Chains A and B, each alone.
Chain A
Amino acid sequence: MPMAPRSSRTITAAEFREFHAAGSFSAACDLLFNASVTIAWSLFDVPEDAASLQAAFLTFTKCLRDWLGQRGMPCAYLYSHEVGQRVGAHTHIAVHIPPSGPDWAERSAWDEFPEWVSAWSVRFFGRPAKRAVRVGRTNPPTLVGHWLRVSYAAKGYDRGAVLRSAENSDDGRPVMLGDIIAWDWTDPGPVALRRRVGAARGLGPARRRLGVTKGTLSAPPPAFNPARLVLDRAIVDNNPIDTTARPRTVPLAPFRSKLEDGFLDVRALYGDEFCFLVDPRLVRTGYPTAPEIDIVKELENLVFD
C-alpha cells in the first residue's frame, strides 16, 4: 500500500514565540548573528528519517560548540530544519562569530570559520559535496543582518496561526503570525525531526531566566536556583545600604522578549532600521543614511535554493 505523503511541518505560533525570544536574547547579549550556515543533508546521502538526520545535526552542533568553546567564545545559534523539493532535507543555522580574535591568535575565528565548516563536512562524511554546505558572513555584525537571518529561518511559518483575533485588533482584522515575519512564506516541507526550529541551550528559557548567557560576563553566572534568588533578594531588601558589597548576589532581571510581553508591532519586535528595510512605510521618520549593511550581499548570502 503506498504511503500517504507527509504534510508540511510549519512553525507554530508557540514555536515562533520561543524562536524570537532566543533571537532577541542573543541580540540583548550583544551576540548578533553575523554568520549563516546551510547544510543539505541529502547531498551527503544522510537518510531522511528522523534518527539519522538528528544524529547528523547533533554532530555539527557538538563540533560547533566545541570549536567555539576552545576559542573562548560564547555559543549562540538558532536553527531551522526544512525539506526542499530540490535539495531535500537541509538545516539553516544562524550563528554569532566574533569578527576579531584575541591578540595571541594567529588567525581569528572569523577567518577560520568557513574553512572549519568545510573541513567538518569532509571529516564526518568522508568527502566534500558540491553545494551541500553554504557559509555566509557579515562583518561587522549588524542588527539588521541579525534579524534578516532570524526571519529567514522562520519563513516556513503556519499561515493559519492567529496571534490576535479581529475582535481585539485595532483595525478589525486578525493579526496573523505571517504579519510579523519579514520573508515571503515558503513551504518548509515534511520535516521529520521532532524539533522544527530551536536555539543553542545558552539562549534557551533557563538562561533567559538568568538574564545572561554563558561567556558574556567576566565572571561566570551562578547556576539557576530559584530558592537562592529569593534568599538574595531578601538579603538585599533588608540591607539596602550594603547592596554594593554583594554585587554578584543580586541576580540580573530575567529576560523577556517583546513578543512574550504581548507586543505585536514589528517596530518593537525588530527595531526601526530592519522594518524600514522591509517596508519603508512602517517608519515614518525614514532613515536619511543608508543602512550599514549591503542588503544585496546579505540576500545573496542567505537565500538558499
Chain B
Amino acid sequence: MPDNDDDSDLQDDREHRAKTAVYSGELRPGRRSGFTGDSLYETLARVITGEDIPDSVWEQDPEPRDGLFSLKLPARSRKPRRRKAKP
C-alpha cells in the first residue's frame, strides 16, 4: 500500500534525524529541552512526530569544566507514554 509506505518512510526519516541529532550532540541526553519536565525522550518524541522546537526554549548549558561532567545523563527520563484515545 503506497500511502503506508510513504508514512513509514517519513517516520524512518524523522527517527533517523532524531538519532543523528543525539549522536551529533545537537540533542543531548543530559540536556533539558526547556519544556517543563521534558528531557531526552520527550524531546525525541517531539522531533520524531515532526514538531518544531524553537531555539529559544533550550536551556543554557552549564559552564563546561575541562575533564569533568558538567552535563549529565537524565536518571529519571522515561519513554513517552502513549496516550489512550478518548472514546
**Which residues does chain A contribute within 8 Å of B20, judged by CB atoms?**
290
Contact yes or no, A299 B65, CB < 8 A: no
**Which residues does chain B contribute within 8 Å of A181, judged by CB atoms?**
69
CB contact under 8 A between A280 and B25, given known A264-B68, A266-B68? yes
Contact yes or no, B68 A184, CB < 8 A: no
Contact with B along A284-296 (1 / 0, CB 8 A): 0001001100111
Chain A 146-182 residues near chain B, CB threshold 8 A: 148, 151-152, 155, 170-171, 173, 175, 178-182
CB contact under 8 A between A281 and B64, given known A181-B69, A290-B23? yes
B17 sits at the interface (CB 8 A): no
Question: Which 9 pairs from chain A and chain B are nearest by CB?
Answer: A280-B25, A265-B67, A179-B68, A290-B23, A279-B71, A184-B75, A186-B75, A184-B72, A183-B75
CA distance A221 to B26 in the complex (A): 48
Contact yes or no, B72 A183, CB < 8 A: yes
CA distance A265 to B18 in the complex (A): 30
Contact yes or no, B74 A173, CB < 8 A: no
* Seed contacts A184-B75, A186-B75, A303-B77; 4 additional CB < 8 Å A-B pairs: A184-B73, A278-B29, A280-B25, A281-B61
CA distance A226 to B36 in the complex (A): 58
B14 sits at the interface (CB 8 A): no
**Chain B contact residues: helix, strand, loop or mixed:** loop
B46 sits at the interface (CB 8 A): no
CA distance A170 to B68 in the complex (A): 12
**Which residues does chain A contribute within 8 Å of B74, judged by CB atoms?**
183-184
How many Å from the CB of B65 to the closest CB on chain A? 6
Q: How large is the interface on A (under 10, 10 to 19, 20 to 34, 35 or more residues)?
A: 35 or more
User: Number of B residues contacting the other chain (C-beta, 8 Å)?
Assistant: 29
CA distance A175 to B41 in the complex (A): 30
A-B pairs with beta carbons under 8 Å apart, 16 shown:
A152-B75, A170-B66, A171-B66, A179-B68, A182-B72, A182-B73, A184-B75, A267-B67, A277-B29, A281-B71, A282-B64, A287-B23, A295-B23, A295-B29, A296-B40, A296-B44
CB contact under 8 A between A291 and B23, given known A279-B30, A280-B28? yes
CA distance A303 to B66 in the complex (A): 27
Q: Which of B65, B74, B77 gathers the greatest number of chain A CB atoms within 10 Å?
A: B65
Contact with A along B70-82 (1 / 0, CB 8 A): 1111111111000
**Which residues does chain A contribute within 8 Å of B41, judged by CB atoms?**
296, 299
B22 sits at the interface (CB 8 A): yes
Contact yes or no, A185 B75, CB < 8 A: yes
Contact with A along B20-52 (1 / 0, CB 8 A): 101111001110000000001100100000000
Kindly report which residue of chain B lies nearest to residue A275, judged by CB atoms. Answer: B69
A45 sits at the interface (CB 8 A): no
Contact yes or no, A151 B73, CB < 8 A: yes
Contact yes or no, B67 A155, CB < 8 A: no
CB contact under 8 A between A299 and B29, given known A152-B75, A182-B73, A183-B75? yes
How many Å from the CB of B77 to the closest CB on chain A? 6
Kindly report which residue of chain A lies nearest to residue B19, judged by CB atoms. Answer: A296
How many Å from the CB of B63 to the closest CB on chain A? 10
How many Å from the CB of B86 to the closest CB on chain A? 25
